[in-house]
Amino acid sequence: MVIFAFPIFIKAQLSIDTLDRLLLALDDTIQIYAGNELWLNNSLGKDAEKKEGTWFDLDKNAGAWEKTYQFRTRGDVLDIKKSQTQVLIIPATNGLDTAYYALNFLNSAPYFPAAYQEENKGRCRFEIPFVFELLHIALALSNNESVSEQLTKPTNYYHTEVLKYFAPFKNHPLIQSINECLKSSNPDSTYHQLCRDILSLEMNQNNIQDNGIYSRPYRINPWVGTFYAQLKDFARKSDFFQFYNKNAGYYQKLIREQEQFMVVDSIWQWLEQQLPARISSHRIIFSPLKSYEATSKIFLSAAYQETIVLVSSPEELLQKDILNYEKRKERVFVAFQQLLPFYQASFNEKYKENIIGLFDDQSYWVAQNVKMDPLNIFAEYWSHALFGLYVEQHFSPTQVRSIRTEIENKMLEMGFIRFYAFSRNLLSLFEKDEGAKNISILFEEFLEGQ
């Protein structure tokens, strides 16, 4: 029987099955195909060093289950079928080492009640949710250096207040569990998964419960059982609710600043004028302690679509000695890049073959040191060029020139050597009809003209 080294807090929380044979990879290479496309190319020897195994999330709500998956090695093939359990463990060996691959079958489909839809449709909400802030406070008390890089500096005013107020609870079992969790897994990946999982919870006073809207599908799913109880106990014993209310004025100030600089309503309106996709509502979520890159996810049901964008606090941006328009530019770029993929997805799929054909000659589009497939090269070119179009319509001429130059220089430094001509060509097409044609109409003309 194969024994799998699970992180301590998930042993009793997942339904697990293990393949009844070893996958042989005598040349040490494991290739994983999604459909006919190579998805991952892994070294079994390196994977064998991971105590918690190598995990892959296949999310039904994101369309991953629509694909067929296949593990291929030199001399062995394994077709993956949907497991009735949540996790399927695949042991593999190169003759010397044994690695474990865990396929985590997810279903993150949300449930949006009619009352929720009626209240929130057409709204963009900027929020510092209770439980999201509680998570970041617990993380601030942890001793993991990697996660510390995701947070504001301890010298930050609010961060200092957090450490002072919660110092008596630094040895609470919740903090110990978080440290154990982060120690036994990839801290950056775990941090993002915890942030997404926590969205499924809500708080009333110091009582924490499921909100009934978002599921908690991720493999590191500690908000049940003992860990869930620890979270509640930490909130109650520290009187987190009182701390939150004491700082409510500060939170509202940050929310107003975030809303002012990100102008999501403007971006939302522009994207839906230019592209046919429609999204019912957006949530912009942050913590005053969060100081790292943005991430986003879309939750889809048959009648309602909602994006959640997790962004950093505007506090550090506010401290920078730069013009307000530069602060707005930075935040607008973040919001635009996070929302665009959800509007662009249907076009990428519809014109996939055209895009691959156009960007297949990678030496023409990118410098030698850039290793990306044609679709990802296109995504970089297209998203930055579209942002340039948005800037043309929403900033002053002087600001437009400055921002365009900055984007073009940045893209050249990153190795996208044809970006200047690419973006100017798109701008020329857009201005030719004085905005009469939206991007969805120009898309075909643009591809044909390249």
Give tens-digit pLDDT for 200-252: 889 888 888 889 898 765 544 554 557 778 999 999 999 999 999 999 999 99
pLDDT over 50 at 125, yes or no: yes
Q: How far apart are CA 147 and CA 292, in angstroms?
A: 10
- 370 with 301, same domain: the answer is no
3 confidence band (pLDDT: 50, 70, 90): very low
- 294 with 440, same domain: the answer is no
- 41 with 178, same domain: the answer is no
- Per-residue pLDDT, averaged over 111-134, amounts to 96
- Per-residue pLDDT, averaged over 46-73, amounts to 71
7 confidence band (pLDDT: 50, 70, 90): very low
The reply to whether 346 falls in a domain is: no
106 versus 346: which is more confidently predicted?
346
Q: How far apart are CA 306 and CA 109, in angstroms?
A: 11
The reply to whether 43 falls in a domain is: yes
Bridge-partner residues for 37, per DSSP? 34
Q: How far apart are CA 94 and CA 48, in angstroms?
A: 10
- 320 with 360, same domain: the answer is no
Q: Which of 100-109, 277-286, 440-449 has the highest mean pLDDT?
A: 277-286
- 135 with 73, same domain: the answer is no
- 81 with 116, same domain: the answer is no
The reply to whether 209 falls in a domain is: yes
The reply to whether 343 falls in a domain is: no
Last residue of a domain, one of 338, 364, 385: 338
Question: Are 419 and 412 a contacting pair, CB within 8 Å?
Answer: yes
- 78 with 138, same domain: the answer is no
Question: Are 16 and 4 a contacting pair, CB within 8 Å?
Answer: yes
448 confidence band (pLDDT: 50, 70, 90): low
pLDDT digits (tens, 9 = 90+) for 106-121: 767 899 999 999 999 9
Average pLDDT, the chain: 85
Question: Are 101 and 4 a contacting pair, CB within 8 Å?
Answer: no
- 318 with 359, same domain: the answer is no
347 confidence band (pLDDT: 50, 70, 90): confident
Q: How far apart are CA 269 and CA 264, in angstroms?
A: 8
Last residue of a domain, one of 61, 85, 105: 105
The reply to whether 99 falls in a domain is: yes
H/E run at residue 250: helix 248-262
- 117 with 48, same domain: the answer is no
In this predicted structure, what is the pLDDT of residue 21?
Answer: 86
Residue range of the domain that includes 236? 108-338
**What φ, ψ does residue 16 adopt, rounded to 5°?**
-120, 140
- 139 with 276, same domain: the answer is yes
The reply to whether 390 falls in a domain is: yes
Q: How far is CA 47 from CA 93, 102, 314, in A?
A: 10, 12, 38
Question: For residue 365, which of 340, 382, 348 has the smallest C-alpha distance?
Answer: 382
Structural domains of the chain, count:
3
In this predicted structure, what is the pLDDT of residue 204?
Answer: 84
In this predicted structure, what is the pLDDT of residue 62?
Answer: 56
Last residue of a domain, one of 338, 371, 389: 338
Find all residues with CB under 8 Å of 449, minimum gap 6, and list them.
425, 429
CA dihedral of residues 238, 241, 243, 247 (deg, nearest 10): 160
SS3 for 397? helix
The reply to whether 218 falls in a domain is: yes
Least confident of 20-24, 103-107, 373-377: 103-107
- 214 with 114, same domain: the answer is yes
Q: What is the pTM of this model?
A: 0.82
- Give the chain's end-to-end CA distance (angstroms, integer): 57
Find all residues with CB under 8 Å of 432, minimum gap 6, and list them.
none
- 171 with 314, same domain: the answer is yes
180 confidence band (pLDDT: 50, 70, 90): confident
The reply to whether 345 falls in a domain is: no
